[in-house]
A and B are shown apart, each in its own frame.
Chain A
Amino acid sequence: MSNIPSDLKYTKSHEWVRTLADGNVEVGITDHAQGALGDLVFVEVPESGKSLKVGDAFAVVESVKAASDVYAPIAGAVVEGNAALTGTPELINSEPYGGGWIARLKPNGAPQGLLSAAEYQAHLAAEG
């Protein structure tokens, strides 16, 4: 059973979103997503300043098995990519909601259309 913290928001494409104290948001991929990908070996994090629309592919996560795009859950600008993932991509496997965060974004307005933990749980159940 994958871990779905109740204090985060989610997308159907398996990203999570955390609102930080400074109003920026932190984005990563869910426990379910890292489990499906398997051992992560390469992460391409976005450069600071990059402007994103909802749904833009802004990062790439690659496991031994496959490459997968990570999509922007909100519109905004990249404040910072997680440089630690360059040397230790496996942080996404071990701490998907902690040290495995992928980027911090400065949102354009309030995030919209994100799923609650319960809704994401239901989405996973429906995906089978």
Chain B
Amino acid sequence: MVDFGGWDMPVNYGSQIEEHHAVRRDAGVFDVSHMCVIDARGSRVREFLSKLVANDVAKLKSSGKALYSCMLNEAGGVIDDLIIYFIDESFFRIVVNAGTRDKDLAWMRQVAAPFGVDLTERTDLAMLAVQGPNARAKVAELLPVEHRAAALALEVFVGRQLGNWFVARTGYTGEDGFEIMLPAGDAVKTWRDLNARGVKSAGLGARDTLRLEAAMNLYGNDMDESQNPLESGLSWTVSFDNPARDFIGRKALESLKTAGLKKKLVALVLEDRGVLRGHQKVIAGANEIGEITSGTFSPSMEKSIALARVARDAGATVQVDVRGKLLNARVVKAPFVRHNKILVS
């Protein structure tokens, strides 16, 4: 067990690698109740979110649709990354990280005040992420008959309230699956019911190797308030399309773009034997050009992989200082693994 944002959480229940493979090949369940669920309500909630986050909530047109975005400070630094679900014009649901809960809520309340938006933390809800190729079918078995078809009909990145469960086809593993928000009192029984159907309990360790293979950023490792999304591999989540939308951090990002971006986040595969870890230095020739932000051993590829923030002009091969030795690594296109397929040659 480790302390994770104030929550006692298991790194693994048994073998971390077996938990990883279960999610890639079958189904696993993660207790992600530490994630902070915030319901935003008010007649001007869309306007508020349009200001609050760098992606554009105008993309959310049909009920249940989800959007991944960063929430930036005025300097363009990342306060947190989050998911927003559009429920209706007066109700959006936001999920933020546990470790940033306090500062997120304080910031969001400050931004929300002029819009008269009410923010309510849903501490009454637990959250389970059930992930893997067989995950949706296993979850559907636990739903009342009348909700099964609706759950299985959910499109990617869409959520829906079904009875007292909010079921969303989202996740952090690169596999298909659901994230379920449910009354906290139902969580233990649901967990056991999933186990009884062959869904393997999976801990933070497997969650990290799965998300890194999927090249999904982890807040605090791959970006934080000292970094902007454009140099964190998250340009795709920043929407400049509407010139009239004055989201927080926009001016700073535009200035950065005008001045020229200096860094980029890249995916690395280690060619030599060893394991890449966060904060190891990335070297090109005689120069230090950046550092690993997240590194691990990929159970799917049986090689070490990493995300690294490096100089924008970095080439296709680099070296990494691994415990005093310079090992060779290759820059590859992310993600490494998706839907149980290795995408890196």
Binding site for B on A (CB under 8 A): 38-39, 41-42, 44, 60, 62, 64-65, 67, 86
6 smallest beta-carbon distances between A and B, as pairs: A41-B297, A39-B17, A62-B275, A64-B297, A64-B16, A42-B275
Does the CB pair B274–A64 fall under 8 Å? no
The dominant DSSP class at the A interface is strand
The dominant DSSP class at the B interface is loop
Q: Judge if B340 is at the interface, Cβ distance under 8 Å.
A: no
Count residues of chain B with CB under 8 A from any CB of chain A.
Answer: 16
Give the distance in Å from the alpha carbon of A9 to the alpha carbon of B219 in the complex.
44
Collect the chain B residues with CB atoms within 8 Å of residue A39's CB: 15-17
Q: List 27 A-B contacts (CB under 8 A).
A: A38-B15, A38-B205, A39-B16, A39-B17, A41-B17, A41-B275, A41-B297, A42-B275, A42-B297, A44-B274, A60-B323, A62-B274, A62-B275, A62-B297, A64-B16, A64-B17, A64-B205, A64-B209, A64-B296, A64-B297, A64-B299, A65-B11, A65-B16, A65-B205, A67-B275, A67-B323, A86-B273
Collect the chain B residues with CB atoms within 8 Å of residue A44's CB: 274
Q: Judge if B277 is at the interface, Cβ distance under 8 Å.
A: yes
Most buried by A among B205, B275, B277, B323: B275
Does the CB pair B274–A42 fall under 8 Å? yes
Q: Judge if B12 is at the interface, Cβ distance under 8 Å.
A: yes
Q: Mark B251-278, 1 if CB is under 8 A from A, else 0.
A: 0000000000000000000000111010
Collect the chain A residues with CB atoms within 8 Å of residue B296's CB: 64
Most buried by A among B15, B17, B205: B17
Collect the chain B residues with CB atoms within 8 Å of residue A86's CB: 273
Most buried by B among A41, A44, A62: A41
Collect the chain A residues with CB atoms within 8 Å of residue B17's CB: 39, 41, 64
Chain B residue nearest to A69 (CB atoms) is B323
The smallest C-beta distance from B325 to any residue of chain A, in angstroms, reads: 9
Q: Mark B229-255, 1 if CB is under 8 A from A, else 0.
A: 000000000000000000000000000
Collect the chain B residues with CB atoms within 8 Å of residue A67's CB: 275, 277, 323
Contact A38:B12 (CB < 8 A) given known A64-B17, A67-B275: yes
Does the CB pair A38–B297 fall under 8 Å? no
The smallest C-beta distance from A117 to any residue of chain B, in angstroms, reads: 26
Give the distance in Å from the alpha carbon of A45 to the alpha carbon of B7 in the complex.
37
- Known interface pairs A38-B205, A39-B16, A67-B275; 20 further A-B residue pairs with C-beta atoms within 8 A, sorted by A's residue number: A38-B11, A38-B15, A38-B16, A39-B15, A41-B17, A41-B275, A41-B297, A42-B274, A42-B275, A42-B297, A42-B304, A62-B274, A62-B275, A62-B297, A64-B205, A64-B297, A64-B299, A65-B16, A67-B277, A86-B273
